[in-house]
Amino acid sequence: MATEDKNRATAAAILPLVGGAANVESIAHCMTRLRLGLHDRSLVDDEALKAIPAVMGVVEDDTYQIVLGPGTVARVTPEFEQLVEEGRASAGTPAPVHTAEELADKGAALKARQKAKNSTPFKLFLRRIANIFVPLIPALIGCGIIAGLNGLLVNLGWLTSVTPALAAMASGFMALIAVFVGYNTAKEFGGTPILGGAVAAIIVFPGVANIDAFGQTLAPGQGGVLGALGAAVLAVYVEKWCRRWVPEALDVLVTPTLTVLISGLVTIFGLMYVAGEVSSAIGTFANWLLSTGGAGAGFLLGGFFLPLVMLGLHQALIPIHTTLIEQQGFTVLLPILAMAGAGQVGAAAAVYLRLPRNESIRRTIRSAMPAGLLGVGEPLIYGVSLPLGRPFITACVGGAFGGGFVGLFNQLGDSVGSTAIGPSGWALFPLLDGNHGLGSTIAIYAGGLLVGYVAGFVATYFFGFSKSLLAEFNVSQEPAASTVAATGPAAASGDSQAKEPAGV
């Protein structure tokens, strides 16, 4: 089957199971998930969706999220959007037009759902921060890979006439990343995106080098992405204030002028300095943490990363990664956190051997293992280790040992970093960078993966199963296995109705 036909078939299989075109309110996607806003959640058939071969799992949050994996989701989403439009057209259903009553009802339903899931303002804030940075990941990946290729060519002395062009391609986005952060921030917080970008552009404008603030001469880029984020948020609040008080006849002239002027002055004479100090502190702390307590810090980061993901707290790391990349050219945290996925791979291999009679779980592991090796851990987490319970814990142990290995070398002076965020596992190799040459960096990261695989396997094989857990799941009955595979996404979503992990 052609790739286009396969993607359209997947979209066509999903659409009726989410209530049809009329039930779809909004469509978006991130790196791995198709995110749907739905009018009526009760029309969704969760179990049938999970049975679609391309679907790795489902997660219910503020949107209904269908896990398709990287690459696939970017190809299925346009097909899904087209099918929704065709369905609305054939049914004579226009694009949604919301009344005040409808929006009020939706708001009440969302509020009740979030309360049931024990969502906190802090988690909602982190989700908004993630929404600012996630759209930037494809550019970070592309420019990061080009930077790695350029570094390799420079070290080898090859294509010397081409490497300056590659350097420009790799560095151009990072030089202006503050503008994109400002644009996305204003969009996320309800302001005019271009005004957010305009204010953030002040931070990277070369002319700020002629300005003194707090007794110091400013430097272009000072404050980085954190300054851009703060400047854009300020611009949103100034703009909203202007919209309330400026007469409509003058709004088109006065509002954008005051927004840029007020928030720009605060940015130049306040935010750039403060955000610059915070950014420097983040870089200094990360380097200190790994240089003084590298093995222990790596052990804790690698071991607790997946629980942070389950709680949604990992989103707080996104601006930290971006700040480190902006400052140092790479983030030293991501390769350590990537070891959590290695622990999952090792644990899944152990589960495969410990449950020789359960062909359903073994089939799930065989299909999910390639994605796991490439750093897409959701199928193994939600379909295997998390529903089983104890194997999820032993997988985290594997991640801890892998993180400790990479952290140890950081402590010894060999920094291992990634020039972009998003990829993990084997997919991170093209993005690796460090302070002691590419060969050394690759060897340390590969060693960490190997340690994570082995530690996750050993911990799960010998300590991941109780006698009752083996008795329950090491059988050839399909229902038991399918129950395991089906409960993963629900457990991960934090829904109070999700099945508890078995036999922890």
User: For the chain, what is the largest distance between any 2 Cα atoms, rounded to a whole number of angstroms?
Assistant: 76
Residues 17, 40: Cα–Cα separation, whole Å:
12
Q: Which residues contact 175 (CB under 8 A, 6 or more apart)?
A: 204, 221
Q: Which residues contact 168 (CB under 8 A, 6 or more apart)?
A: none
Q: Which member of 30, 143, 242, 396 is catalytic?
A: 30
What does DSSP assign to residue 94?
P
Which tokens sit at 185? 């921030």
Q: Describe the crossing of helices 339-354 and 359-373 by its angle, rounded to 10 degrees.
A: 160
Q: Give 220: exposed, middle or buried? Use CB within 10 Å, 0-12, 13-18, 19+.
A: middle
Q: Which residues contact 278 (CB under 8 A, 6 or more apart)?
A: 226
Q: Is 69 helix (H, G, I), strand (E, B) or coil?
A: coil
Residues 422, 39: Cα–Cα separation, whole Å:
31
Q: How many beta carbons lie within 10 A of that of residue 432, not counting itself?
A: 21
Name the nearest CA neighbour of 176 among 202, 194, 150, 195.
202
First vs last C-alpha separation in the chain = 42
Residues 422, 343: Cα–Cα separation, whole Å:
18
Which tokens sit at 402? 């892998």
Secondary structure element (H or E) that encloses residue 265, with its range: helix 248-266
Specify the residue for token string 């002395």. 157
Residue environment code for 295-319, b if the CB has 16+ CB neighbours within 10 A, otherwise e: bebbbbbbbbbbebbbebebbebbb
Are the beta carbons of 462 and 398 closer than 8 angstroms?
no
Q: Is 419 helix (H, G, I), strand (E, B) or coil?
A: coil
Secondary structure element (H or E) that encloses residue 193, with its range: helix 193-204
Q: Is 159 helix (H, G, I), strand (E, B) or coil?
A: coil
Amino acid sitting at position 504: V
Residues 474, 347: Cα–Cα separation, whole Å:
16
Is 30 marked active-site?
yes
Catalytically active residues are: 30
